């Protein structure tokens, strides 16, 4: 039996009507507001009734393009309550990207924040949308105002029957390797995310989740689902800086924070320099920091533990095709295995396979595949991609990994990012982790650089710690400890571009430093 997420919201409203559900903080404007569970549920009901009045029915699609905030979640749950598919879009998408997603989804309604009006205007005469709804203050004349619609709509719950296998969300991948793929998720997938997170991290109503990453992504939102299912509140922090994060934890009595590598790096740099002092904040109640979305350097967590020795830590691994995080996790208490993504999550299975689809031996590298109730239904309207990704219920992740004798799995790299130099496979993550250990290095990315003799050589792009200096010669000397074929032969210095979910955007690096987007990407599939 599955409890749908919209019923979880209604249940929280019945059981804890006057307790705070969501808090929104905008540090740059010194603004804060909050709503209770009853207000949250009623406003979601109102938006559901608005949509149904406009003809939205079960199975329709509603595109959702807004920045993080309480209204983002009100709209999200309102859409789900109608039985429609919510289609959250990346707020970094250009007009062209938005048009592509709308062409795929064929939505009845486009909901957008007024910050996106210019992008919508540019494509409005080319997109298949029946109705427009705009949230914010500056409402274009072709759109209905979100706030006014909610004010006038009834707060009664819509009467829609939903099943676990009914679709509820169409999520587009980040698109760093080409056109974003549309991933169709079901209500069963959402329930799986709630339960897996709750089992892993033991959330209670007393927990307060500090929610920072973009809500359009399956990552942090699904982590919050573990608190949501038990009625635990959340703080939506709009804006990221070390000070704002620690202030939110301190002032809101935050207990759980999910962070990306760059944010942890920035906090540690300020703690190291003395620009941040822990004694200026109330942090004793902060019980868990967890990370994911990319490989986590062991040295990063070792530094974190010097400042927060008693805080629990977990690495979580997931992907949108698996309903977000937690199909794999390190597990609290396993800090001796930091560097690993851990073992299969609650109700998940995992294998590492070779090209013949058979399990490889412990220590050997192969592709990680996973199976569980969080696996997507399909890549929407793309049977070929679906067939390549889903085989006998197993999701092929495209991540290369190895397993140790204790069953802990270590990511080696993305299949598409492997560098082949003189016939030898080099996994960029190994190079990146080694270079990252240098005290002058803030971030590092390894890419394949074209070479007539070897096909490719290893190049490394380094982002320096502010105020530090490093030369190419010093980097090359430092890397003498690395196996000869893995050593960087070229060094570039510059900013490492990352997506909103923390992943290194290697196509951008290839384009900048090699001159074309996907130079020398070997076919190893």
Domain annotation for the chain: domains and CATH numbers: 35-162 (3.40.50.980), 195-414 (3.40.50.12780), 418-513 (3.30.300.30)
Residues in the chain with pLDDT values less than 50: 175-177, 516-525
Q: Report d(CA 357, CA 350) in Å as an integer.
A: 13
**Cβ(325)–Cβ(222) under 8 Å?**
yes
Q: Which two tokens stand for residue 475?
A: 């980097």
Spatial contact of 396 and 369, defined as CB atoms under 8 Å apart: yes
Q: For residues 5 and 191, give the distance between their C-alpha atoms in angstroms, rounded to a whole number.
A: 7
Concatenated DSSP letters for 18-50?
Answer: TSEEEEEEEGGGTEEEEEEHHHHHHHHHHHHHH
Residue whose C-alpha is closest to residue 176's, from 512, 513, 516, 504 = 504
Cα–Cα dist 37/11, whole Å: 9
Output the six-digit token pair for 121: 């205007």
Short-list 497, 417, 495, 400, CA closest to 456: 417
pLDDT for 458? 92
Predicted TM-score (pTM) of this structure: 0.83
Hey, what are 415's tokens?
A: 């299949």
Q: So what's the pLDDT on residue 423?
A: 64
pLDDT of 520: 30
* 134, β-bridge pairs: 112, 145
419-421 vs 409-414, strand pairing mode: unpaired
Q: Provide the CA 390 distance to its chain's centre, in angstroms.
A: 21
Ramachandran bin of 451, using left for φ above 0, alpha for ψ from -120 to 50, beta for the remaining angles: beta
Query: What's the CA gap between 164 and 373, in Å, rounded?
Result: 10
Residues 101, 106, 112, 114: what is their CA dihedral angle, to the nearest 10 degrees? 80
Check if the beta carbon of residue 232 is closer than 8 Å to that of residue 254.
Answer: no
Written as six digits, the tokens of 230 are 């038990």
pLDDT of residue 519: 33
């Amino acid at each position: 039996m599955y409890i749908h997420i919209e019923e979880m919201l209604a249940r929280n409203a019945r059981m804890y009507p006057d307790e705070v559900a969501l808090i929104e903080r905008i540090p740059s404007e010194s603004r804060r507001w909050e709503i209770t569970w009853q207000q949250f549920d009623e406003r979601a009901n109102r938006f559901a009734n608005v949509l149904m009045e406009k003809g939205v029915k079960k199975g329709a699609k509603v595109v959702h393009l807004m920045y993080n905030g309480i209204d983002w979640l009100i709209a999200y749950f309102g859409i789900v309550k109608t039985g429609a598919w919510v289609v959250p879009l990346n707020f970094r998408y250009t007009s062209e990207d938005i048009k592509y997603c709308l062409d795929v989804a064929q939505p009845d309604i486009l909901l957008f924040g007024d910050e996106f009006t210019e992008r919508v205007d540019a494509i409005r005469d080319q997109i298949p949308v029946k109705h427009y709804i705009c949230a914010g203050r500056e409402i274009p004349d072709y759109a209905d105002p979100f706030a006014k619609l909610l004010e006038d709509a009834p707060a009664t719950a819509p009467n829609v029957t939903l099943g676990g296998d009914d679709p509820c969300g169409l999520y587009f991948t980040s698109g760093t390797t080409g056109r974003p793929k549309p991933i169709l998720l079901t209500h069963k997938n959402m329930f799986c995310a709630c339960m897996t997170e709750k089992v892993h991290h033991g959330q209670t109503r007393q927990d307060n989740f500090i929610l920072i990453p973009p809500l359009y992504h399956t990552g942090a939102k699904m982590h919050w689902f573990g608190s949501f299912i038990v009625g635990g509140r959340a703080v939506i922090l709009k804006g990221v800086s070390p000070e704002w994060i620690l202030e939110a934890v301190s002032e809101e009595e935050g207990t759980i924070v999910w962070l990306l590598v760059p944010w942890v790096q920035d906090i540690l740099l300020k703690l190291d320099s003395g620009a941040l002092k822990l004694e200026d904040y109330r942090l004793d109640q902060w019980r868990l920091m967890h990370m994911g979305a990319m490989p986590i350097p062991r040295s990063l967590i070792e530094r974190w533990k010097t400042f927060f020795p008693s805080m629990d830590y977990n690495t979580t691994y997931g992907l949108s095709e698996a309903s977000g995080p937690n199909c794999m996790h390190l597990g609290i208490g396993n800090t001796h295995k930091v560097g690993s993504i851990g073992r299969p999550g609650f109700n998940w299975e995992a294998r590492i396979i070779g090209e013949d689809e058979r399990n490889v031996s412990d220590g050997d590298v192969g592709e990680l595949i996973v199976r569980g109730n969080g696996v997507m239904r399909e890549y929407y309207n793309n049977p070929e991609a679906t067939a390549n990704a889903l085989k006998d219920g197993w999701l092929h992740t495209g991540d290369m990994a190895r397993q140790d004798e204790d069953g802990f799995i270590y990511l080696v790299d993305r299949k598409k990012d492997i560098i082949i130099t003189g016939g030898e496979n080099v996994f960029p993550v190994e190079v990146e982790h080694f270079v990252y250990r240098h005290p002058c290095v803030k971030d590092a990315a390894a890419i394949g650089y074209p070479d007539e003799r070897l096909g490719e050589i290893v190049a490394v792009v380094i982002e320096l710690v502010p105020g530090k200096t490093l030369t190419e010669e010093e980097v090359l000397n430092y890397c003498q400890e690395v196996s000869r074929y893995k050593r960087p032969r070229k060094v570039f210095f510059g900013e490492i571009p990352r997506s909103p979910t923390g992943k290194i955007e290697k196509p951008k690096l290839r384009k900048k430093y090699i001159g074309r987007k996907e130079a020398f990407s070997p076919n190893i599939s």
